[in-house]
Structure 1
């Protein structure tokens, strides 16, 4: 009996050890498969989206390409392949957890709840959620939306915030969910919804690509502050260190400002860097919101 007990005990400990070792060792997995999997979004302009040429581009994608460069250097694999994987808001966290992607490069807010399932890089962007509507609707404040239809992207922090505001302020708004940001904007644009709720930078991107950017305006003030980060699997210290080094390097050498200017301060679409973001560059952090 004793011998059988210890045999089972040793087998169990061995299984636990193997599980712990294999839980998250991204660099070893990347080396073995010869491929780095970059998860991107399809309509989160200007962070991560598909352009007119069918390419995955954006602010977050550019940052993740710097991570990819460092992975190649760390593994001494100049021949390492890059695989781009399109993700939806509803499946992005699961894709990171189950290893379908090595990093998720989109417009994902770092929250305390999400930290239970995935890890986040240093904050790469500070956004704020707002409401947007047509100027012709003459909506000036959140209270003007009482009883009206609001559209928000599903499985986002903005969805949670809008639902809370609706309940707390007894606004009686009808909240419609969109599968992605482009669909949400389209529902407002077509008149299916009076306003769309999303992060300010994402709304700027959608307005900039619309037929008449002058036809829209924000409704009221910010309803939340959103720190964006690159997602990757938890409990992977080697990969975490590499990502930290890649992003901290972008901050310290000033390349992040070049990337920012490329996506937010050129052409018709301009969004000056806010004070929160400037402070974040000086003191990189991974603070998550509730």
Structure 2
């Protein structure tokens, strides 16, 4: 996934136990645990002439997580991985010292019809001692993810650990990402079930917290680690995410994440000089944005 857009942050607000904003990073909170970028994709449509075609672009120092509710994406990367990511499955690509990948609509969905697409593309920063590891890709089927019901709420542990369970997705730090789906109004308490900083993304429906109603499209960040509680509305879908924060600051420029600025500068030069290993069978190339080059000159 490529950070090709400028994120215009909506006004964030403080409602007591939570900070409320659009997506991360936003002004009052740059990261939640190791999570440093969250992009809500859709709900939208592709076809008959408009498709997802994100060409070759690089990453360093992070893992990407792709999770879809609707639609399909073909992932190809420079490790040789080729995989169609379908709803409920988890695509997890670890960039480490450097990887290049593409994301495209499958051929079978380019048949003149219209198809829905909806999901999340997420960046998770790597621990400092893992930033330069070899790149790799893993794909986890929906059936392999821990799922359970509790008080009328359906839970799926997408990645990491929580509620006494562990996802098979090969993460590198203490984190969690969990989907919750309610049919009826339900009170949720995460105390004792999740560790570290906690974010709540309202995908569909609404939640109530601190005498305020927060509708879909917003994100809440708990100001008290490990102990937030809230009420899910009926027919609501949430993503809970977070974990233990890193001690070191993370620098983010374009698609590069690192605890060291010089590593990012080297990655920029390597991409300009086309020194990254590219994706077999792909020929296009997304250049380094002019804004990134200008930031270096200023």
Which TM-score applies when normalising by structure 2?
Answer: 0.28
Q: Which has the larger radius of gyration?
A: 1
Q: Determine which structure has the larger helix proportion and give its number.
A: 1
TM-score normalised to structure 1 length: 0.29
- Hey, which of these two has a bigger chunk of strand by percent? 2
Higher RCO (CA < 8 A, seq sep 6+): 1
